[in-house]
Structure 1
Amino acid sequence: MTDHRDGVSTDGDAPSGPPDAIRLPRAPTGSGAPSTSSASGAGERTAARVAQRERRASTPGRRAGRMLRETAIVVVVALVLSLLIKTFVAQSFWIPSESMENTLVPGDRVVVSKFTPGPFALKRGDIIVFHDPDHWLQEPNAKRTGVSGAVTSVLQWIGLYPSGDNDLIKRVIGLPGDHVKCCNTRGQITVNGVGLSEPYIYPGGGTDQKTFSVTVPSGRVWVMGDNRGDSSDSRFHDDGTGRTGSVPESDIIGRTDMIVWPVNRMGWLSNYPSTFDKVPKP
């Protein structure tokens, strides 16, 4: 029998109690419903696994391994950065001779910018480092041998040790197309007919050790040491054409910007613009 009172179905066995009573669903039981005790057990097992991993990671062997990996990464990154800087930005050199005194003295460490020549043009008066253009170094410095020599060579290649054993450093006096001559009646070098007042020349050294008159070829520069009496520079390697004594721009490593060592000589290097500002273009 079906009782349709109050819209509640009474098919079959009708529940006892008031007809309008609402029965709440029973909570599921059995294996399909997680119990509080099982959830607690799972949390304890997870915490135990985390603690075990932390104990393994904190063992001396694992700590040492992690430290070695991190150190290796730092060293590799530092070496790569040093190589990139040395190749494209700047490089350190040491001064082996007296040819640039008193501007530079033996043992000075200098920083050379790779941006000149390049993004920045060479100027008269710039101090440049360049590869030996044509056996200017009659007696190249002896190569370092043995383990220490190999280590030094690698460090120089990377840029962590100053180069300079068999490179040269001089001051640019003439640019391509300039007519450079020694000397006028005052004993001065002239560039395009203008006598140069050169305050950087070694005191008492003069500049008239050798007479010459050349026009600097295209793509080359005329260089001289500040210690004119002790500098085997463009003057002593030229055959009168300006070609054998000048330095190809392709051999220029860069412009010397500053002394970085020793500390008491640290400072920027000038190209003395006032010495060359009255020189006309060729």
Structure 2
Amino acid sequence: MILANKKGLVVGIANDNSIAYGCARKFREAGADLAITYLNAKAEPHVRPLAESLDSKIVLPCDVREEGQLEAVFARIEQEWGKLDFVLHSIAFAPREDLHGRLVDCSAQGFALAMDISCHSFIRMARLAEPLMKDGGCLQTVTFFGSDRVVEHYNMMGPVKAALECSVRYLAADLGVKGIRVHALSPGPLKTRAASGIGRFDELLDRARERAPERMLATIEDVGHVAAFLASDGARSLTGNVEYIDAGYHIMG
């Protein structure tokens, strides 16, 4: 129960295959109380039963493109709990026509939208979480190896995730004096709904399994174990890192 008496916000559950859900399960098993968000009315029937299975009392809509929704989530947390110990940000988006084309051909509007949802929303969450993390805390986001190396068909999301990882380092520097730690979780390829938008993703999964030193793919539960540890007091001296959870895939040339 390494997270007993801690309060956490999980943003990004779409279904029971979501990385965010794997993390939420491990947070809850470790003793944390959770606030859960869903994207919109269409997503709610898929997410609310999962939130209920996690005994979440705060379940709210959160589309970061809709003015005021993110702020409303943090206002409710302040009203109900008066504090926050950790946040998991697991959302990303790119317009399909931009994602499936070459980076050099992506539109300014598509690139800006991908950066806003996938990167700047994490910065916004950090700003809103800061006054609630009165005794320190932990901010976590989800990235991918394509931020550092060229991954075929990852295209525009590579630079976007690189910006997200750089933001993690700068946020860690900004907030460290307040005891707020910041991390990026970097799983290898996982078969999630979000990943299905990447071209020929099944081939990427097969190659990753073959190339990883452990000859396996990580699971959402594997990611959750690491996320729970990072949110705990046992990780209080760790910050600003990209934590790879990929059976060693990232070390291969």
Report which of the two has the higher share of strand: 1
Q: TM-score, normalization: structure 2? A: 0.23
Report which of the two has the higher share of helix: 2
Q: Which has the larger radius of gyration?
A: 1
